Structure 1
Amino acid sequence: MQNPSVYARLHNRRFVVADNAQGLSGTGTVFHYRVEDDAISSTYQGGRICLGTQVGRVTGPDTFELLYQCLTLEGELLAGWSRGTVGVDGAGRTTLSFVWGWLSGTTGGGASNYVEITA
């Protein structure tokens, strides 16, 4: 069954990093999400990321969880997990807020915020 809120706010939309002090993605990293039923996937690249992918699922009306993996420009292969919440900012852009951690390739974790790229 498709979640209308997450689908409407994520499907075929692109996001950039608004805040990711402890993370690897940053200025220049673009995330492109797709949603089918309760399944979420994305690709991302830019900044320090050569190529990254995510797969996940919708967990509530405005929440989801993801597993991610990436190859950095330095040749590092990294993987981790995240839990996200969909929101809307004052300008009507979709926002994503995450807590996340690394599973392989490095250690640590943190919190991140993304904002939708609008035309």
Structure 2
Amino acid sequence: MARSLDGLVLSPVADQAPGQVGTRTRFVYHEEDGLIRAEYEGGDVVRGYLVGTREGDRLDFRYVQLKRDGATSSGHCVSIVADLPDGRVRLEETWEWESQEGSGTSVVEQLPADVPSAV
């Protein structure tokens, strides 16, 4: 199993569609006894939260977010945790909106130590 996500800051490696998370979004993860949660913000997202579980290298969580235009949205995501060659963590995600149409895949990675974690 990959190391704990607790305290790690991750960001998408590419921008998604407008109004969704993107390279300026920062996720701060917390993990304890198989439970995971994260707060996120940046780009078009004013504030977002996710909560779920981890079994081995598989995360299963729900997310909800508030966008800059005042709209809220929510969905479900399953992620696979992997270690990168340089020791950072990568999440390979498959997500689906529950509050609107749409689904897809994305990749988020732990920020390198020399990249600011603030939004």
TM-score normalised to the size of structure 1? Answer: 0.87
Residue segments in structure 2 that go unaligned for 5+ positions in a row: 114-119
Task: Answer 1 or 2: higher relative contact order, Cα 8 Å, separation at least 6.
Answer: 1
Aligned-residue offset at 1:90: 2.4
Residue segments in structure 1 that go unaligned for 5+ positions in a row: none
RMSD: 1.5
- The aligned residue for residue 40 of structure 2 is 44
Contact 2:59 2:78 in 1 (8 A): yes
Structure 2 residue 50 is matched with structure 1 residue 54: yes
Aligned-residue offset at 1:22: 4.8
> Structure 1 pair 20/98, CA: closer, same or farther in 2 (3 Å)?
farther
**For the residues of structure 1 that align with 2:23 and 2:57, how far apart are their CA atoms?**
26
- The aligned residue for residue 28 of structure 1 is 24
Structure 2 residue 101 is matched with structure 1 residue 117: no
User: Which residue, 10, 14, 29 being the options, matches 1:19?
Assistant: 14
Identity %: 28
TM-score normalised to the size of structure 2? Answer: 0.87
Question: Matched residue pairs, number?
Answer: 112
Matched residue of 1:19: which SS? coil
